[in-house]
Structure 1
């Protein structure tokens, strides 16, 4: 499985690419992959410091996709800002990340880490306590995600 993240300067640039170049590039890649899933998220805020789509200093990426109960979206977003974000920002191995939103109450939390060991320290020491404090179980209708080991030769 491969995860490909693309970041666009603006929605206008994305729309222009989709209208002018996407089909030509996609047809050239025909047969090189199967079961592609594509989702478009709108940036909401940083996790830790100013997010930039630079992956050369990260060895691991944690991506979480969350579908939130409609009546809990405001609470979920607030808890990301007030509970989860400060906790991740305080973890020495966490470099930077972002929180983004898609239609249908779906959210992406992407965090970049120096190493799997650093991410492991954060996970084992804090996640259960933070989830209780943030009432995450009441907010989340569905959760999926992955730990992505960086393949530096794939970064552009």
Structure 2
């Protein structure tokens, strides 16, 4: 599965939201699995969109046929767009599906990992972080994905921001020490995204 992550700063919020709803046409595309997104809780003018495709072949075919009609309509409504394509490696918790119906919040963590620590980083995600997240109240499911250049994306879906708040504590520092996170990660950026149900395709 291919995971596409878009992040941008929106300058015309009303127009952006209106046009975002027009991506519903993706439902007819071969290999399309789902899409949703919302607004950063920490930076209210920052939007995130997450899209899922069966594989890169389907996605590349879609892009080659000129998918830019909705995107063109949103031109001028945002700036500083960043797009990342990541290949699925494994679930966070179990049975990941790109289904946003029961989720209120998505936590996104984007890491750039030292080359010689890549496999250790992935192993610690499986052995340390996944069990901790899976056992947290309100955590529904998630995905761990990789891009060239030793980049990793962890998306986790939560039932509510209140529940996600329970997965912050001293426990996170303890887990990070156990996983030797500071030795693995060159840079880390994250956000908490309040999902907009009208953006879900």
Query: Could you say which TM-score interval applies, normalised by the shorter chain?
Result: over 0.9
Q: Could you tell me the TM-score, scaled by structure 1's length?
A: 0.95
Residue 77 in 1 paired to residue 122 in 2? yes
- The residue number in structure 2 matching 1:45 is 90
Q: The residue matched to 1:36 in structure 2 has which SS?
A: strand
Q: Contact (CA 8 Å) 2:114, 2:150: kept in 1 or not?
A: yes
- Equivalents in 2 of 1:58, 1:25: separation in Å? 25
- Once the two structures are superposed, residues 76-122 of structure 1 have per-residue CA deviations (whole angstroms, 9 ceiling, x without a partner) of 00000011001111112100000000010000000011111211111
Residue 92 in 1 paired to residue 100 in 2? no
- Once the two structures are superposed, residues 15-69 of structure 1 have per-residue CA deviations (whole angstroms, 9 ceiling, x without a partner) of 1011112344433332222211100000000000111111111111100000001
- The residue number in structure 1 matching 2:180 is 135
Q: Contact (CA 8 Å) 2:108, 2:191: kept in 1 or not?
A: yes
Q: The residue matched to 2:61 in structure 1 has which SS?
A: helix
- The residue number in structure 2 matching 1:104 is 149
Residue 12 in 1 paired to residue 57 in 2? yes
Q: 1:116 to 1:70 in 2, by over 3 A?
A: same
Gap regions ≥5 residues in structure 2: 1-45
Q: Could you tell me the TM-score, scaled by structure 2's length?
A: 0.74
C-alpha RMSD of matched pairs (Å): 1.2
Q: The residue matched to 2:77 in structure 1 has which SS?
A: coil
Higher share in helix:
1
Q: The residue matched to 2:136 in structure 1 has which SS?
A: coil
- The residue number in structure 2 matching 1:33 is 78
Q: The residue matched to 2:54 in structure 1 has which SS?
A: coil
Q: Contact (CA 8 Å) 2:96, 2:142: kept in 1 or not?
A: yes
Gap regions ≥5 residues in structure 1: none
Matched residues, number: 156
Counterpart selection for 2:66 from 12, 21, 24:
21
